[in-house]
Amino acid sequence: MTFYTVVPLEQMFEGAYSSGQQAEEVMISGMLMQVEPLEGRQARIIRLLQCPLDKYLNPAFAPGAVIDYDK
């Protein structure tokens, strides 16, 4: 996708990621993913970094999905 605009990228994507928490890379069930820690043992998936191709189609691992994990 290409954006042709005079609006700065910082303004275009403002609020896309919450800046309150740092993103972490975690390995869960053999999948490396980038997550945003939430309260307790939960995290929100930002993106999958390394996993089997069929996991990309699984809605449980879609960006924005909340998962349980141990730090």
Parallel, antiparallel or unpaired: strands 66-68 and 31-37: unpaired
Nearest to 26 by CA among 7, 45, 39: 45
- The predicted model scores a pTM of 0.68
Tens digits of per-residue pLDDT, 20-44?
A: 568 899 998 889 999 999 988 899 9
How many Cβ atoms are within 10 Å of 45's Cβ, its own excluded?
Answer: 20
38-64 tens-digit pLDDT: 988 899 999 999 999 999 999 999 999
CA-CA distance, 19 to 27, in Å (whole number)? 22
Q: How far apart are CA 71 and CA 39, in angstroms?
A: 12
